[in-house]
């Protein structure tokens, strides 16, 4: 059975956190789509790199989604945080035991939604207060707690992506890709 993974994009997203995740998951044979929540397929990142999303949020069927991924970037995170439909999908995914992964500033969205209550989580340094009711004491670059994966920032992107590969396809494949990419 093929997994359905969606990475959401909003103007101001952190490019390396989005593109490296898409790249590494595709290397692992995981079907991942970039979803624009901007009403148009062209989405411009925090460092003025424009990417073409695969689909628009409005055309996605979420009932068969296995994982929702949120890259960081201050402006992109603020836009995603205000997107009621995406927030609803995140809550539903966690309630249904589906995977949710967020990196850098994006775990703050999960915190505000109450999805990190009682969980260990991490984020970009200095944003921990937004991870409401989460244990942020672990210094790890990427943390898995239940069905939620969080990570710290641009430099942890490859590790974040490989952690996603590990939970979806196994440690052996993640280690093979890690070796091939010299990570």
Using alpha carbons, list the distances in angstroms from residue 23 to 59, 86, 97, 108, 128.
Answer: 23, 23, 25, 24, 28
SS3 132: coil
Residue with tokens 């093979």: 176
Give the C-alpha separation, 160 to 98, whole Å: 17
pLDDT at 144: 98
Domain positions in the chain are 5-178
pLDDT at 2: 80
Which tens digit of pLDDT belongs to each residue from 31-68?
Answer: 999 999 999 999 999 999 999 999 999 999 999 999 99
Catalytic residue flag (residue 123): no
Q: How much is the pTM? A: 0.97
Which tens digit of pLDDT belongs to each residue from 110-156?
Answer: 999 999 999 999 999 999 999 999 999 988 999 999 999 999 999 99
Comparing C-alpha atoms, which of 9, 149, 13, 152 is closest to residue 74?
Answer: 13
Give me the phi and psi of 174, to 5 degrees please.
-60, -45
Average pLDDT over residues 2-10: 94
Q: pLDDT above 90 covers what percent of the chain?
A: 97
pLDDT band at 1 (very low <50, low <70, confident <90, very high): low
Comparing C-alpha atoms, which of 6, 182, 15, 177 is closest to residue 89?
Answer: 6
Contact call for residues 114 and 121 (beta carbons, < 8 A): no
Average pLDDT over residues 58-84: 97
CATH topology of domain 5-178: Rossmann fold (3.40.50)
* 3 state SS for 16-57: HHHHHHHHHHHHCCCCEEEEECCCCCEEECCCCCEEECCEEH
Of 104, 109, 164, 177, the catalytic one is 104
């Amino acid at each position: 059975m093929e997994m359905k993974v969606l990475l959401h994009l909003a103007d101001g997203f952190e490019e390396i956190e989005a593109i490296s995740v898409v790249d590494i998951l595709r290397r692992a044979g995981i079907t991942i789509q970039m979803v624009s929540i901007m009403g148009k397929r062209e989405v411009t990142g925090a460092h003025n790199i424009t990417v073409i999303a695969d689909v628009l949020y409005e055309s996605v069927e979420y009932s068969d989604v296995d994982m929702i991924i949120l890259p960081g970037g201050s402006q992109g995170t603020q836009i995603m945080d205000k997107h009621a439909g995406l927030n609803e999908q995140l809550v539903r995914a966690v309630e249904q035991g589906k995977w949710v992964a967020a990196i850098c500033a994006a775990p703050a969205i999960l915190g505000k939604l109450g999805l990190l209550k009682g969980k260990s989580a991490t984020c970009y340094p200095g944003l921990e207060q937004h991870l409401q009711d989460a244990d942020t004491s672990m210094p790890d670059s990427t943390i898995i707690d239940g069905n939620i994966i969080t990570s710290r920032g641009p430099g942890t992107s490859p590790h974040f992506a490989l952690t996603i590969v590990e939970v979806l396809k196994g440690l052996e494949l993640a280690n093979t890709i890690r070796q091939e990419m010299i990570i």
